[in-house]
Amino acid sequence: MFWTLFKRVIRGGFTHFYRNGFVSLASVLVMTVTLLVIGSVVFLSATLNASLEELKNKVDVNVYFQTSAPEEEVLALAERLRALQEVTVVEYISRERALLNFRERHQNDALTLQALAELPDNPLGALLNIRAKEPSQYEGIAQFLKSEDVLSVKQREIIDEVNYFDNKTAIDTLGRIIDSAEALGFGITLVLVVVSFIIAFNTIRLAIYISREEIAVMRLVGASNHSIRGPFVISGVLYGASAAILTLVAFYPLAYYLGDATEQFLSGLNLFRYYLAHFGEFFLIIVGSGVGLGAFSSFWAVRRYLNV
């Protein structure tokens, strides 16, 4: 009995989908627009995250050491910093490398290079370049460094300067910008998704409203609620699945077209490669959203608006 009812529901859903061709086409197109918005939100989220990560990577703290600081103590401090949960990267730059970098930056400044050549010894000390997970964590790292000014057994200071205190205002401002961008991105995403769902829901509700006489006849002949609601839910699933396929196909050339442009402006994030690399996740999001929205909208519209 159950299997017979199940087959009738499935067959009825496909029949309703194909018989009402114009209504089905309109529903699929509207749901395609909805899923395009959802997919665009995924892309926008990826680009926003890439942009924010790029900003975060531009924020760092440099620890400059005295020229007399023993290398083993500098490396020991670097290991202690790497053990901190807030720290992602600690780059050690030796005195020799620091001098080479200085020469490269001033390769067109003959006067500076001449003055440097007249010095009897390398005037630059080693340094550590530190990157934290979040801009707000640099203050804690700076306080840690401040509490560790004297490191050697001879009570000799090896840290010359920590540039966080010079750049604190810029780092705090950038942190606020990143937090605001994340909050704004979440708000825009939520609004777009909710509006898209409402439009798709109302479209399916209208499609079911057109079939109100068919539902009334089914009720008169004694059809159960499951028998009436089932075919419409299946039709809703077909709307969503068809729209999902169209959306996935449409995003392929779109991502390909925008791939090179995004790679140039977003530090290597190529939308086309991102689309291919995350196609499985993208497929689940789009198909799941389409099928879920179609089934839920059809179920709720029949139950609430047609009083079945």
Residue 289 is predicted with a pLDDT of 84
Q: Is residue 104 exposed (0-12), middle (13-18) or buried (19+ Cβ within 10 Å)?
A: exposed
> 70: how many CB neighbours lie within 10 A of its CB?
15
> 267: how many CB neighbours lie within 10 A of its CB?
12
Distance between alpha carbon 156 and the CA centroid of its chain, in Å?
Answer: 47
Contact 90, 128 (CB under 8 A): yes
Pairing verdict, β 127-132 and 61-65: antiparallel
pTM: 0.64
d(CA 136, CA 144) in angstroms, rounded, equals 14
For the chain, which residues score pLDDT lower than 50?
Answer: 150-153, 308
> 307: how many CB neighbours lie within 10 A of its CB?
8
Distance between alpha carbon 117 and the CA centroid of its chain, in Å?
Answer: 49
Using only C-alpha atoms, what is the Rg of the chain?
31
Pairing verdict, β 159-162 and 127-132: unpaired
> 121: how many CB neighbours lie within 10 A of its CB?
7
Residue 268 is predicted with a pLDDT of 62
E strands in the chain: 61-65, 87-93, 127-132, 159-162
Residue 182 is predicted with a pLDDT of 67
d(CA 259, CA 273) in angstroms, rounded, equals 7
Residue 153 is predicted with a pLDDT of 40
Q: For residue 72, what are its two tokens?
A: 């083993």
Stated as kind and residue range, the H or E segment containing 150 is none
d(CA 149, CA 228) in angstroms, rounded, equals 77
Domain annotation for the chain: domains and CATH numbers: 2-55+175-305 (no CATH), 59-167 (3.30.70.3040)
Each residue's pLDDT tens digit, 96-124: 888 788 788 777 777 776 776 777 787 88
Residue 150 is predicted with a pLDDT of 44
Residue 12 is predicted with a pLDDT of 61
Residue type present at position 92: Y
Q: Among 104, 4, 90, 47, which Cα is nearest to 255's?
A: 47
CA dist 29 to 233, 236, 248, 276, Å? 18, 13, 13, 24
Q: For residue 201, what are its two tokens?
A: 């829901």
Residue 85 is predicted with a pLDDT of 86
- Dihedrals phi, psi of 126, to nearest 5 degrees: -70, 165
Residue 151 is predicted with a pLDDT of 47
